[in-house]
């Protein structure tokens, strides 16, 4: 039993960032400059909370089918003040709070790399670990509850006692599955916790979040692709009801490119992990390090790309580049994509634009009940923040191990570069498998979706409909 608890403790310990190649400054070595990263991270996080988040939630809409291939789209929020009013709801504040914790943890890591890349201040490391770990631990529980509860159970009429019992049961299931997995892995390896089984345990724990993210992403792909393309062309649409600015159009174009490549990259991730785990090739580390089977095949056959990737390996050792990489991921995944999925979740785009998505409330409930609106937003932020932050941390240890905290400690426990690469690819592959399955079910709706008309201003009773 003692080994069981040790295995579980190690599984969660692996989620906390540590320091390796750089030195660690103890609290007794305090210098005023060690506060600059924390103050900078708090300042940026405050700007995100006060201005960016409300702005992104100021154009929430929900769609109703009123005729064949004709939907009325009703605005839930038009101004930043409307969005701030929604953010003040209890469950919304909880979900967005978890999201902001994850963002603050990553922002503090960026600031540490910018101000003093050779030295990490130990209290800042504990703050990073705490603020990253809390969303990671809570998000599977939240997403599991949302997916197992029927729509009738999530409505206002649901009893508090029933909801509490369901939450206790789901927590028990989640913890039991995690413990069973680590115990089974230890039994397969003479009582030792191996890196592979530690990664599998983390996968089991995060499974509800991975499943929810893959389902929503796959069911939202059609709607996001069509409407972000319309935004890129300057056209109003159900996801972006206001006339887009030049920056919005440019960013939408980047998202379109990202969406187009998603099915191919998903298949590449799945096949790569299968090939490495079952065929155990001698060049497994190179395959995982250079973009999977597709990336490695191109690397071997094109001299120009080989030369570029050689320089890329050199660039990855620069702390400034890691800081830039983290900032770019926050901009694309943390700040942009999660809001796009949230808007489509509330709109109902998964229902008429895809299949096998996650539906918590009906469109009429979302329009008329503040609690229903709060459930959608809280679910999106509480669920997605933990998974995206965890993936970001894993990718950083995979690509920039020499710069990340306590890499040496991880390597001493068996998490060498190849194992970190494999663990990250396993997480990506499982999420990709769920996405690809949902995408294949939903892709048949792409052509009919193009025929649907959306009346973006039903209150004005305009003639016709706007795409």
- Over residues 13-39, mean pLDDT: 68
Q: Counting beta carbons within 10 angstroms of the beta carbon of residue 243, is it exposed (0 to 12), middle (13 to 18) or buried (19 or more)? A: exposed
The percentage of residues in the chain with a pLDDT greater than 90, rounded to a whole number, is: 12
Which whole-number Å values give the CA distances from 248 to 79, 230, 245, in the listed order?
A: 17, 11, 5
Residue 158 has pLDDT above 80, yes or no: no
Q: What is the dihedral of CA 448, 451, 456, 462, to 10 degrees?
A: -150
> What does the pLDDT look like over 334-356, one tens digit per residue?
556 788 888 888 988 888 888 88
Q: Are strands 23-25 and 61-67 parallel, antiparallel or unpaired?
A: unpaired
104 neighbors 138 (Cβ within 8 angstroms): no
Question: Degrees (nearest 5) of the Cα angle 210, 215, 218?
Answer: 120
Phi/psi of residue 455, nearest 5 degrees: -85, 105
**pLDDT at residue 436, rounded to an integer:** 93
- Dig out the tokens for 59 from the structure: 């154009």
Look at residue 152 and tell me whether its pLDDT is greater than 90: no
Backbone angles phi, psi at 374, to 5 degrees: -65, -40
pLDDT value at residue 227: 92
Between 275 and 324, the more confident residue is 275
The secondary structure of 20-77 as a DSSP string is -SSEEE-GGG--GGGGHHHHHHHHHHHHIIIIIHHHHTTT-EEEEEEETTEEEEEES-
Question: Does 153 reside within a domain?
Answer: yes
* pLDDT class of 310 with cuts at 50, 70, 90: low
Question: Higher-confidence residue: 451 or 412?
Answer: 451
Q: Taking each helix axis as running N to C, give the angle between helix 370-399 and helix 319-329, from 0 to 180 degrees, rounded to the nearest 10.
A: 160
Residue 97 CA to residue 258 CA, distance in Å, equals 27
Name every residue whose Cβ is closer than 8 Å to that of residue 29 and which is 6 or more positions away in sequence: none
* Residue 238 exposed, middle or buried by CB count within 10 Å (0-12, 13-18, 19+): buried
Mean pLDDT on 24-37? 81
pLDDT score recorded for residue 181: 92
Burial class (CB in 10 A: 0-12, 13-18, 19+), 119: middle
Own/partner long-range contacts of 175-182 (Cβ < 8 Å, ≥24 apart) = 177/204, 177/205, 177/207, 178/8, 178/11, 178/204, 178/205, 179/4, 179/8, 182/4, 182/7, 182/8, 182/11
Instruction: Name, in order, each residue with C-beta under 8 angstroms of 225's C-beta and a sequence gap of 6 or more.
Output: 256, 259, 260, 446
Distance CA 423, CA 102 (A): 21
For residue 63 the two structure tokens come to 């769609």
Higher per-residue confidence, 220 vs 16 = 220
Residue 10 reports pLDDT greater than 60:
no
Comparing 392 with 36, the larger pLDDT belongs to 36
pLDDT at residue 435, rounded to an integer: 92
The verdict on residue 466 lying in a domain is no
Region of 190 on the Ramachandran plot (φ > 0 left; ψ -120 to 50 alpha; else beta): left
Rounded Cα distance between 63 and 51, Å, is 26
Q: From the DSSP assignment, how many helices (H) and strands (E) are in the chain?
A: 21, 5
Q: Kindly state whether residue 189 falls inside one of the protein's structural domains.
A: yes
For residue 20, pLDDT beyond 70: no
Number of separate domains in the chain = 1
* Whether pLDDT at 325 is above 90: no
Question: How many C-beta atoms surround the C-beta of residue 186 within 10 A?
Answer: 19
More confident residue, 295 or 350: 350
Q: Which of 216, 257, 229, 145 is nearest to 431 (CA)?
A: 216
Closest by alpha carbon to 145, among 184, 180, 182, 95?
A: 95
* Cα dihedral 109/115/119/120 (nearest 10): -30
Residue 467 within any structural domain of the chain: no
The answer to whether position 465 is within a domain reads no
- Tell me whether residue 349 is in a domain: yes
> Which tokens belong to 45?
């996080």
Per-residue confidence band for 443, with pLDDT thresholds at 50, 70 and 90: very high
What are 450's two structure tokens? 């193009």
Q: pLDDT tens digits for 45-88? A: 999 888 888 888 888 889 888 888 888 888 888 888 888 888 88
Which domain range does residue 403 map to? 2-460
With 70 as the cut, is the pLDDT of residue 321 above it? no
Give domain status of residue 298, yes or no: yes
pLDDT value at position 221?
93
Confidence (pLDDT) at 388: 81
Compute the distance between CA of residue 144 and CA of residue 309 in angstroms, rounded to an integer.
Answer: 40
Q: pTM here?
A: 0.81
Average pLDDT, the chain: 79
Q: Which of 119-128, 187-196, 218-227 has the highest mean pLDDT?
A: 218-227
Kindly report, residue by residue over 402-431, the tens digit of the pLDDT.
777 777 777 777 777 778 888 888 888 888
Asked, for residue 256, whether it belongs to a domain, the answer is: yes
């Amino acid at each position: 039993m003692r080994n069981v608890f040790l295995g579980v403790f190690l599984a969660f310990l692996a989620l906390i960032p540590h320091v390796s190649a750089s030195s660690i400054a103890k609290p007794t070595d305090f210098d005023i400059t060690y506060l600059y990263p924390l103050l900078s991270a708090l300042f940026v996080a405050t700007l995100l909370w006060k201005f960016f988040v409300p702005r992104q939630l100021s154009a929430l809409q929900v769609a109703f089918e009123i005729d064949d291939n004709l939907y009325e789209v009703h605005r839930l929020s038009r101004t930043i003040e409307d969005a701030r009013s929604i953010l003040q709801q209890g469950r919304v504040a909880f979900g967005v709070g978890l999201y902001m914790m994850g963002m603050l943890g990553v922002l503090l890591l960026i600031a540490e790399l910018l101000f003093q890349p050779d030295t990490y201040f130990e209290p800042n490391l504990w703050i990073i670990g705490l603020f990253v770990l809390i969303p990671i631990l809570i998000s599977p529980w939240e997403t599991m509850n949302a997916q197992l509860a029927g729509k009738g159970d999530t409505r206002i009429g649901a009893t508090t006692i029933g909801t509490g019992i369901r939450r206790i049961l789901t927590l028990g299931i989640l913890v039991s599955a995690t413990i069973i997995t680590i115990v089974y892995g230890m039994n397969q390896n003479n009582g030792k916790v191996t890196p592979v089984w530690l990664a599998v345990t983390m996968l089991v724990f995060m499974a509800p979040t991975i499943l929810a993210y893959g389902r929503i992403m796959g069911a939202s792909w059609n709607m996001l692709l069509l409407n972000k393309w319309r935004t890129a062309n300057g056209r109003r649409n159900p996801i972006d009801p206001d006339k887009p600015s030049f920056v919005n159009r440019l960013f939408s174009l980047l998202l379109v490119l990202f969406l187009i490549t998603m099915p191919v990259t998903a298949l590449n991730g799945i096949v790569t992990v299968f090939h490495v785990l079952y065929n155990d090739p001698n060049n497994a580390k190179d395959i995982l390090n250079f973009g999977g089977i597709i990336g490695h095949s191109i690397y071997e056959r094109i001299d120009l790309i080989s030369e570029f990737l050689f320089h890329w390996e050199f660039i990855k050792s620069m702390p400034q580049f890691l800081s830039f990489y983290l900032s770019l991921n926050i901009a694309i995944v943390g700040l942009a994509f999660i809001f796009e999925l949230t808007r489509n979740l509330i709109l109902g785009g998964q229902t008429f634009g895809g299949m096998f998505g996650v539906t918590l409330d009906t469109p009429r409930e979302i329009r008329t009940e503040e609690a229903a609106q709060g459930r959608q937003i809280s679910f999106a932020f509480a669920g997605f923040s933990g998974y995206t932050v965890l993936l970001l941390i894993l990718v950083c240890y995979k690509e920039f191990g020499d710069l990340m905290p306590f890499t040496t400690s991880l390597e001493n426990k068996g998490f060498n570069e190849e194992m970190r690469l494999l663990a990250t690819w396993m997480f990506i592959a499982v999420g990709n498998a769920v996405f690809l399955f949902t995408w294949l079910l939903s892709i048949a709706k792409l052509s009919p979706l193009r025929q649907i008309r959306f009346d973006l201003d039903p209150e004005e009773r305009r003639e016709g409909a706007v795409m």
